Amino acid sequence: MSNYRIQGETGEWEVVIGMEVHAQVTAKSKLFSGASTKFGAEPNSQVSIVDAAMPGMLPVPNKYVIEQGVKTGLGLNAKVNKTSVFARKNYFYADLPQGYQISQFEHPIVGEGVIEIDLPDGSTKNIGVTRMHLEQDAGKSVHDLHPSKSYVDLNRSGCALMEIVSEPDISSPDEATAYLSKLRMILRYLGTCDGNMEEGSMRADVNVSVRKPGAPLGTRAEVKNVNSLKAVSQAIEYEVQRQISLIEDGGEVVQETRLWDPNKLETRSMRSKEDAHDYRYFPDPDLLPLTLEDGLIERLQKELPELPDEKKHRFMNDFGLSLYDSSVLIAEQSRAQFFEDAAKGHDAKLTANWVINELLGARNKDGKALEDSPITAANLGGLVALIQDNTISGKIAKDVFALMYETGKAPDAIVEEKGLKQVTDTGAIEAIIDEVIAENPDNVEKYRSGKDKLFGFFVGQTMKKSQGKANPAIVNEILKKKLDV
């Protein structure tokens, strides 16, 4: 149960949210045609006769896309239906040359599933997935190229989308963004959608309603065009306030589709909500019911990669990492792999610290991805090894790291070149300490007469004289011996 409550004039309100996410299937060609799906091509250069709805054309299901759908269902812990049916969803729009969208209605390819979301306080919650179906994307109308005309680009027409519908189990803006990020992470791990919200390959429709705690579900409004995690959270907050004020002022929420305006930070009415019967869905007579071949589900199940939650638990159990560190590392598959490669044979916790605090910090500062980092996983592991075997101190390691980042060189080479090896030779350290003691008779006096705090001063002086290279443990030991007489 969420304890997210909004205080209104008439008491507390609870928020109910359900999401419909459209995710473009990662595939070279479209759902029912061989035309390319590549993003950013010349308008209308990737349109087959099927996508342009030429008379007499016949759609042919793309086997790879269907498999991507099955994989997604398995990754969402959902029931995959061996038989599903493509249906026509009829409506008119300039960017929909067929006059209908081929979608799935009564018999989707994927049934009920569940997504575990991670909340900011470290807890988790299960959000039900109602269904996932495959459908065609529409083309794109372009209104801003000509003062009085609109253009249509059909490149996107017929690209495969997965529509993933959640149960109304989401109860706060935080849960909504956690749901979207976890869903996106799973799709990316599976390789079934690139999750790129800026390019529109993942888009969310957010259904929001409010109710008094424990009351039946209120009437929902559906907010479209919410294409970033931040916008999802802002749109929900706006919508909740609008609905509460409306009801408390004696009005009623109407079921409608609203549009999120990211500039004005508000939602506004777009059209009253159509019901399913307005689309006059019926099974597409051009397509047979889709029946998956025997063994396909089992084969794809076996080929599934390790998913984010499994990886997170393995990192915590096998490497002893904290929930926080594990969550940061598994956020991207390539990041998790980088960590595992770097940690091979070394202290995992120490490696995790260096990946998260130093390397990711530096990459974020540069606005760059981890993948093309100048420091390879093997070299970062090498740095950890040098700290572990006391060749360098943690402090010198930061300097070595900076040089590695700058030059791409291996840590051993830098340590060698710059003479940064930690001094563990007790004789050499003792000589430095003798100098420090000789140079500071006053402080020695004060220390010996009870000013214990001055011990740090001597450590500092010794480290400085050794250019940071003296082994701190040995320094402490010898200083104690020499001062405490």
Query: Which is nearest to 119 in space by CA: 186, 174, 185?
Result: 174
Query: Minimum CB separation from ligand ADP for residue 121, in Å?
Result: 23
Q: Does 133 bind ligand ADP (CB under 6 A)?
A: no
Among 209, 333, 379, 462, binds ligand ADP (CB under 6 A): 209
Query: Which is nearest to 192 in space by CA: 303, 60, 323?
Result: 303
Query: Minimum CB separation from Mg ion for residue 183, in Å?
Result: 16
Query: Minimum CB separation from ligand ADP for residue 171, in Å?
Result: 10
b or e along 201-215 (b: 16 or more beta carbons within 10 Å of the residue's beta carbon)?
bbbbbbbbbbbeeee
Query: Minimum CB separation from ligand ADP for residue 276, in Å?
Result: 6
Q: Does 112 bind ligand ADP (CB under 6 A)?
A: no
How many residues in total does the chain contain? Answer: 485
Query: Residue 153 touches which of ligand ADP, Mg ion, none (CB < 5 to 8 A by kind)?
Result: none
- Residues with Cβ within 8 Å of 349's Cβ and at least 6 positions away in sequence, in order, are 319, 320, 321, 325
Query: Residue 217 touches which of ligand ADP, Mg ion, none (CB < 5 to 8 A by kind)?
Result: ligand ADP
Q: Does 104 bind ligand ADP (CB under 6 A)?
A: no
Query: Residue 16 touches which of ligand ADP, Mg ion, none (CB < 5 to 8 A by kind)?
Result: ligand ADP
CB under 6 A: which stretch of 36-44, 205-213, 393-401, 404-412 binds ligand ADP? 205-213
How far apart CA 27 and CA 7 sit, in angstroms, is: 47
Among 116, 167, 340, 399, binds ligand ADP (CB under 6 A): 167
Find how far residue 57's CA is from the centre of its chain. 39
CB under 6 A: which stretch of 162-170, 328-336, 417-425, 464-472 binds ligand ADP? 162-170
- Which CB sits closer to Mg ion, 20 or 347? 20
- Which CB sits closer to ligand ADP, 17 or 415? 17
Widest pairwise Cα distance in the chain: 101
- Which CB sits closer to ligand ADP, 237 or 340? 237
Q: Does 18 bind ligand ADP (CB under 6 A)?
A: yes
- Which CB sits closer to ligand ADP, 116 or 430? 116
CB under 5 A: which stretch of 12-20, 87-95, 268-276, 405-413 binds Mg ion? 12-20
Q: Does 254 bind ligand ADP (CB under 6 A)?
A: no
- Which CB sits closer to Mg ion, 19 or 307? 19
Q: Does 165 bind ligand ADP (CB under 6 A)?
A: yes
How far apart CA 56 and CA 49 sit, in angstroms, is: 9
Q: Does 19 bind ligand ADP (CB under 6 A)?
A: yes
- Which CB sits closer to ligand ADP, 102 or 423? 102
- Residues with Cβ within 8 Å of 22's Cβ and at least 6 positions away in sequence, in order, are 137, 161, 162, 163, 202, 203, 204, 205
Q: Does 396 bind ligand ADP (CB under 6 A)?
A: no
Query: Minimum CB separation from ligand ADP for residue 209, in Å?
Result: 3
Among 2, 4, 16, 385, binds ligand ADP (CB under 6 A): 16
Q: Does 168 bind ligand ADP (CB under 6 A)?
A: yes
- Which CB sits closer to ligand ADP, 18 or 139? 18
Residues 20-39 that bind Mg ion (CB under 5 A): 20
- Which CB sits closer to ligand ADP, 275 or 318? 275
Please give the size of the binding site for Mg ion, defined by CB under 5 A: 1
Binding-site ranges for Mg ion (CB under 5 A) = 20
Which residues form the interface with ligand ADP (CB under 6 A)? 16-20, 165-168, 207-209, 217-218, 220, 222
